[in-house]
Amino acid sequence: MKLIFLGPPGAGKGTQATGVSTKLNVPHISTGDMFRSAIKNRTRTGLEAQRYMDNGQLVPDSVVIDMVRERLAMDDCKNGYLLDGFPRTVEQAEALEGIASPDAVINIAVPDERLLSRLTGRRVCGKCQGTFHVSKLADEKVCPVCGGELIHRDDDKPETIKKRLSVYHDQTAPLIGYYTGNGKLKTVDGDNRPEDVLKAILASLE
Ligand code: ADP
Ligand code: ZN
């Protein structure tokens, strides 16, 4: 199964993708995670991506497309993939058609006013990449899953979040029309408990 998770920043793509990729046994490929790991390792791609990410802007299409093309050529993608955070522009979607066309696109819909509080309260584990909301954490700095250190991402600060939301509406939301047009889009309500969103996603794939 070749799957795409679409949705605004903070919709819960990463959380849901983790559950669905285990269930369907396809690799969870998050371009955001790939860039953060490239930045940590100071690779050329990482250095190039960082200045865009820090400003809440998209990394240029050519950089992302090359990275995804290489990743999808790896052995573990033989039975499919679950892409989280890609494509984010129509140009990326068109490039993906020439690499490995998706079977279905899950659009996780959440109203803008809910996203701001989700993102400002988001903490990410530096070790297992899990994401959590501060309101549900006993200790704001310790991952409840693996004990790793929780980080407040630089791009989860209020000014950058506003920018990311506007970038989403301008550049990524047009993909809803793109994938509706080719009959692949399935929209689920992301403004629910995570376990219910997961159920809705799996049901939409039956
Ligand atoms: P979010 O929580 O907003 O979904 P991600 O972790 O997916 O965040 O991405 C973080 C940042 O990485 C984005 O704001 C963007 O700068 C960059 N990025 C990730 N995926 C892409 C992509 N497909 N195209 C361009 N930039 C991307
Ligand atoms: Zn962890």
Q: Which domains does the chain have, with CATH numbers?
A: 2-111+165-205 (3.40.50.300)
118 in ligand 1 pocket by Cβ < 6 Å? no
pLDDT digits (tens, 9 = 90+) for 32-57: 999 999 999 999 999 999 999 998 99
- Measured CA to CA in angstroms, residue 33 lies from 61, 85, 114, 119, 187 at distances of 17, 9, 23, 16, 24
3 in ligand 1 pocket by Cβ < 6 Å? no
Q: Answer yes or no: are the C-beta atoms of 67 and 86 closer than 8 Å.
A: no
Predicted local confidence at residue 113, as pLDDT? 87
Kindly give the distance from the C-alpha atom of residue 149 to the centroid of ligand 1, in angstroms, as a whole number.
22
- Listed as ranges, residues in the chain with pLDDT below 70 are none
Predicted local confidence at residue 77, as pLDDT? 97
With pLDDT > 70 as the criterion, what percentage of the chain qualifies?
Answer: 100
CB-based contacts of 82, cutoff 8 Å, min separation 6: 3, 4, 5, 17, 20, 21, 24, 26, 27, 28, 29
Predicted local confidence at residue 155, as pLDDT? 87
Kindly give the distance from the C-alpha atom of residue 123 to the centroid of ligand 2, in angstroms, as a whole number.
10
Which pTM value belongs to this model? 0.90
Indicate the DSSP class of residue 127: T
Residues flanking ion ligand 2, Cβ below 5 Å: 125, 127-128, 130, 143, 145-146, 148
